[in-house]
Amino acid sequence: MSGHSKWANIKNQKGAADAKRGQLFTKLTREIILAVREHGGNPEANPRLRLCIQKARDNNMPIDNIERAIKKAEGTLEGVNYDEFVLEGYGSGGAAILVDILSDNRNRTVQEVRSVFTRAGGGLGEVGSVNWQFEQKGIIGIEVTGGMDADDVSLMAIDAGAEDVKSDAEYIEIYTSLEDMEKIRKSLEDNGIAVKSAEMAKVAQNTIELDEATALSVLKLIDKLDNLDDVRNVWCNVDFSDEVMGKYEG
């Protein structure tokens, strides 16, 4: 597996503490605000907002928080302006890393991200130095539970229009076009499959493998970047093994 959903799972477990949950809610609020300001506050007419709301609900964000974020974006409540941009860089072993940012202070955020890269032995790259290695996809994550047949779920997803499916004993990753993600998610849920997550992702067109020590170093870098308040997502082209994921989680 690419490790994308496994990494997301580790983040969710690490985020169980109240402080982490508060940080997650802050990031989700910013995403909702940006989606509303770009395309309006009606989820039926705004696919990006609809996805943000679903992601917030998947992470147990209270409905009051969601509604407050929408009102803030619509100008009903006082708010601030956020800038959305991407930073590109490299970690140990030549790992290519994309960092999605949503910030109210670009200069501050760039310095924070640069500092994390530098301390990890990596560095920021020029615009376009990394981005070309990734393509936008939808990723639907499903936890394999008792009685679930991963092969059956995979075939169901493919029949619904999925482009690719990767699975192991614990997790199923379903890759879709951005346009088909919602349709495929709904089809799975209508067939009784519980969807753990569904999000727009930047997927590496080709992955690399690293030795254990280097892979753990890259995971540590990703974790530190993820913990920055202004970072929405971190994408990497490393294929992390189950053993490396298990050691990092432990």
Amino acid type, 71: K
Could you tell me if residue 229 is inside a domain? Answer: no
Closest CA to 27 of 231, 223, 196, 222: 231
Query: For 65, phi and psi rounded to 5 degrees?
Result: -65, -40
**Could you tell me the residue range of the domain that residue 35 belongs to?**
4-74
Could you tell me if residue 59 is inside a domain? Answer: yes
Rg, C-alpha atoms of the chain: 18
Nearest-angstrom CA–CA distance, 83 and 104: 6
- Range 140-170 burial, b when 16+ CB lie within 10 A, else e: bbbeeeeeeebeebbebbeebebeebbbeee
How many helices and strands in the chain, by DSSP H and E? 9, 8
Could you tell me if residue 25 is inside a domain? Answer: yes
Could you tell me if residue 90 is inside a domain? Answer: no
Q: State the total domains in the chain.
A: 1
Beta bridge mates, 141: 173, 197
Which CATH number covers residue 28? 1.10.10.200
Beta bridge mates, 238: 208
Given a contact cutoff of 8 angstroms between Cβ atoms, the answer to whether 95 and 235 are in contact is no
Amino acid type, 42: N
Nearest-angstrom CA–CA distance, 211 and 238: 11
Given a contact cutoff of 8 angstroms between Cβ atoms, the answer to whether 207 and 96 are in contact is no
pLDDT at 215: 93
pTM for this model (two decimals): 0.77
Could you tell me if residue 45 is inside a domain? Answer: yes
Residue 51: is it exposed, middle or buried by C-beta count within 10 angstroms (0-12/13-18/19+)?
Answer: buried
Q: How many residues does the chain have?
A: 250
Given a contact cutoff of 8 angstroms between Cβ atoms, the answer to whether 7 and 13 are in contact is no
Beta bridge mates, 148: none
Nearest-angstrom CA–CA distance, 174 and 198: 9
pLDDT (tens digit, 0 to 9) for every residue of the chain, 250 residues total? 344 545 554 454 444 444 466 678 888 888 898 888 888 889 888 888 888 898 888 888 899 999 988 888 877 556 667 788 999 999 999 999 999 998 889 999 999 999 999 999 999 999 999 999 999 999 998 988 888 888 899 999 999 999 999 888 788 999 999 889 989 999 999 999 988 888 888 999 999 999 999 999 999 999 999 889 889 889 999 988 888 888 887 6
pLDDT at 177: 93
Could you tell me if residue 199 is inside a domain? Answer: no
Could you tell me if residue 215 is inside a domain? Answer: no
Could you tell me if residue 8 is inside a domain? Answer: yes
Placement of tokens 């376009």 in the chain: 128
pLDDT at 17: 46
pLDDT at 3: 47
Given a contact cutoff of 8 angstroms between Cβ atoms, the answer to whether 11 and 3 are in contact is no
Nearest-angstrom CA–CA distance, 85 and 87: 7
